[in-house]
Amino acid sequence: MEKSQICENIRKVKSKIEKTCRKIGRETSEVTLVAVSKTKPASYIREALECGQIEFGENRMQELEEKIPQFEPAQVSWHMIGNIQTNKIKLIADKISWVHSIEKLKYLKEFEKRSNGNKIKALIQVNISGEKQKGGVEPEDLAEILKSSTDFEHVKVCGLMGMATFVDDPEDVRHEFKLLKNLFDDHQKFNSGSVNLRELSMGMSNDLEVAIEEGATMVRVGSEIFGARNYD
């Protein structure tokens, strides 16, 4: 994909975000675009950086570990958005800004242990689709993990993340986004110490407008920016 195409794609996605925000009376600044660069070469990330994009998401810990050294630390804000392997946390914990996919307290403890002083913003992934393969804590277990996460020094629990069911019509999953927003609102009472719920990561290329309408503050967009995924 040519640089000009990546820049144009970013512009189109940002325009879509802006249009949706304007429609519902939200400020565009309330929604952060995370460009999901998983399976894409570092050259694509460089091209997106030149277009002003600085937030990038990866879902494979090993791929993230390989990409991080190819950029200056100040250039990129890295988001770990995929499945977490405890034994690989030490490879990235001192280099990333965000982790979206926390579903166990032990992951938070390991990130804290391996942070080397790095400040990490963490999101608790909640299973809003009912599909076990998507991972995440069950809604009824969210309070327990929040109550146990108030004493970290370097890890801050900043919000929730959810992955909706993949459907052709985004309206079919609006109720899943509503569920996550309701959980977000209902669990504000657990804000204490290192827990301060303020971010809601939900919505991807196919359903970001509905997610924003339901309160998303972060959307994770890959294919609409970089094209279809490349799998070996």
DSSP string, 6-69: HHHHHHHHHHHHHHHHHHHT--GGG-EEEEE-TTS-HHHHHHHHHTT--EEEES-HHHHHHHGG
pLDDT tens track for 145-180? 999 999 999 999 999 999 999 999 999 999 999 999
Q: pTM here?
A: 0.95
Distance of CA 222 to the CA centre of its chain: 12
Q: Which CATH entry fits the domain spanning 3-226: 3.20.20.10, 3.40.50.2300, 3.20.20.150, 1.10.3720.10? A: 3.20.20.10
Strand pairing partners for 161? 125, 201
Domain ranges of the chain: 3-226
Predicted local distance difference test score (pLDDT) of residue 132: 82
pLDDT tens track for 30-55? 999 999 999 999 999 999 999 999 99
- Mean per-residue pLDDT over the chain, rounded: 95
